[in-house]
Amino acid sequence: MRYCHRCGWEWTRDEPPGFRDLCPQCQAYLHCCLNCGLWSADRGLCTSRTAEPTADPAEHNFCEEFRFAFRASRPQQTDALTKSSEARRRWEGLFKK
C-alpha cells in the first residue's frame, strides 16, 4: 500500500500525486522524498544517481523520478503531528460554549 509518510493516510489512486498535492488528513506534501521509493531512510538520502538533492526531504519537489513508495504497513503518526492535533483540539475547545 502507499501511505502518507507523516500520518499514514492511504493513497488509493492509480496515478502518482501531483507536485503540490497535500495529504487531506495532515496537509503534508505527498510528492516528496520521504514518500518516494528511491528514498533511503537508513542513509537519509535519495538512492538515485541522477536526482538532484533537496534541502528538505519532507517538502514538495519537482523530481521526475518520484515513485510513490509501497509499504507493507501503515506508518505511525509522528509525535509532532500528535502534539499539533492535540494543541488544535484544545485551541478550538476554548471557543466552544
- pLDDT classification of 94: cutoffs 50, 70, 90: confident
Dihedral sign, Cα of residue 50, residue 72, residue 22, residue 41: negative
How many separate domains does the chain show? 1
Residue 46 confidence (pLDDT) above 70: yes
Diameter over CA atoms, the chain: 57
Residue 81 confidence (pLDDT) above 60: no
Dihedral sign, Cα of residue 33, residue 35, residue 36, residue 40: positive
Find the domain containing 38 and state its range. Answer: 1-97
- List pLDDT tens digits, range 19-36: 999 999 999 999 999 999
Worst-scoring range by mean pLDDT, 31-40, 63-72, 87-96?
87-96
Please tell me whether the overall predicted TM-score, pTM, comes out greater than 0.85 for this model: no
